[in-house]
Amino acid sequence: MKANPDDLLVLLAVSRSAKFTTAAQVLGLNHTTVSRRIAALEKALGGRVLARAAGGWELTELGTEAVRVAEQVEAAVSALGPAGQAPDPITGVVRMTATDGFSAYIAAPAVARLRRKHPGLSVEVVTMTRRALQQRSGLDIEVVVGEPQVHRAEAVQLGEYMLGMYASRAYLAENGTPASVAELTEHPLVYFVDSMLQVDDLDAPRRLVPAMREGLMSTNVFVHVEATRAGAGIGFLPCFMGNLHNDLVRLLPDDFAELLPYWMVLRPDSMRRPAVAAVVQALRDQTAAHRDALLGRGRASSTAP
């Protein structure tokens, strides 16, 4: 029995979302129809094309081969555009995860610029600070802090960014300006929740000033910035975020200049999609264009008010 091209396209949609329900929405079908189409494809091919994984479905070896054929079918169908018009290959949904700061200051403007040229493109960005996943069904791109240890994936370094200690001018006027690392222990820290921090490379404050007491802790870096501005304590912030605010002062830059890498993790099959390749290049370009800001070479803010 030969595989039905429509069933192959259904498998392709499931492979990109890792969920039957999401694929059904994209295709304008219901969940039952998607399940039935996948069952028919597996019967035609004589084996399983999908296997259960954390967070959804993952392609089997047979499924990976079938998706390659499905991509050829999709490309052939896409080529049948209006007469005289070449269809835009950069279309469809690209799904990625990244840290809060990277998502806002690098990914968002990069995607916005790309969508002006390719309005058929849609990008879903889930913000989180964690290690790279070992199972990444339905996820095209991950941007993580620190070099990832991954299997069946490609990992490339995007760039680097600097973190430093910051306090608000009002806080320093009221509480004094620490002149040494030892004096920081007299001030509360604004940073990540230690028990929930999944990225070892982000442990600098506890490693450099272990006696510094905790003040306001959050899993979101934007909370760190705003809490520091509000005077909750001294925040350990990405310089590209801290330097945006004139009411923040960078402290002890010679002692606190933590340089961390951004890495990008890609599924082996993702880059075959023009839309994913375009988003990857846009992220590379945006990161490179903002290299100085990421490295903290912005507004001079290392002196007290």
CATH number of the domain enclosing 223: 3.40.190.290
What does the block give as tokens for 152? Answer: 């069946």
Phi-psi category of residue 299: left, alpha or beta, with phi > 0 → left and psi -120 to 50 → alpha: beta
Single-letter amino acid, residue 280: V
H-assigned helices in 20-159: 20-27, 31-45, 61-78, 100-102, 108-117
The per-residue pLDDT for 303 is 38
Same structural domain, 22 and 112? no
The per-residue pLDDT for 252 is 95
Q: 251: which DSSP letter?
A: E
By CB atoms closer than 10 A (0-12, 13-18, 19+), residue 174 is: exposed
Q: How far is CA 52 from the centre of its chain?
A: 24
Q: pTM of the full predicted structure?
A: 0.76
> Which of 79, 104, 138 is at the close of a domain?
79
Same structural domain, 205 and 151? yes
> Which of 79, 104, 132 is at the close of a domain?
79
Beta-carbon count within 10 A of 187 CB: 22
What does the block give as tokens for 183? Answer: 């004096």
User: Residues 249, 303: contact at Cβ < 8 Å?
Assistant: yes
Same structural domain, 60 and 161? no
Q: For residue 98, give the nearest of 257, 302, 293, 282 by alpha carbon.
A: 282
Domain count, the chain: 2
Adjacent-strand bridge partners of 159: 262
Same structural domain, 108 and 46? no
For the four alpha carbons of 60, 62, 68 and 73, in that order, the dihedral sign comes to: negative
Same structural domain, 53 and 138? no
Same structural domain, 198 and 97? yes
The per-residue pLDDT for 259 is 94
Residues contacting residue 90 through CB under 8 Å, at least 6 positions apart: 114, 117, 118, 120, 121, 274, 275, 278
Same structural domain, 16 and 92? no
- Residue 58 sits in a domain of what CATH number? 1.10.10.10
Same structural domain, 66 and 158? no
∠ Cα 127 132 134 (to 5°) = 125
Beta-carbon count within 10 A of 32 CB: 10
For the four alpha carbons of 297, 302, 303 and 305, in that order, the dihedral sign comes to: positive
Mean pLDDT by 10 residues, the chain (305 residues): 83 81 82 88 88 80 85 74 66 89 96 94 87 64 87 86 97 96 94 80 85 93 97 96 96 94 86 89 96 81 38
The range of the structural domain enclosing residue 31 comes to 5-79
∠ Cα 4 66 62 (to 5°) = 120
Count how many Cα atoms sit within 13 Å of the Cα of residue 269 in the half-sphere of its side chain.
Answer: 20
∠ Cα 266 272 277 (to 5°) = 65
Same structural domain, 247 and 169? yes
Same structural domain, 289 and 233? yes
> Measured between alpha carbons, how far is 14 from 33 in angstroms, rounded to an integer?
12
Only one residue has tokens 């004094």, namely: 176
Coil, strand or helix at 262: strand
Only one residue has tokens 């095209």, namely: 140
Same structural domain, 166 and 44? no
What does the block give as tokens for 297? Answer: 């070479």
> Measured between alpha carbons, how far is 95 from 60 in angstroms, rounded to an integer?
20
Same structural domain, 125 and 261? yes
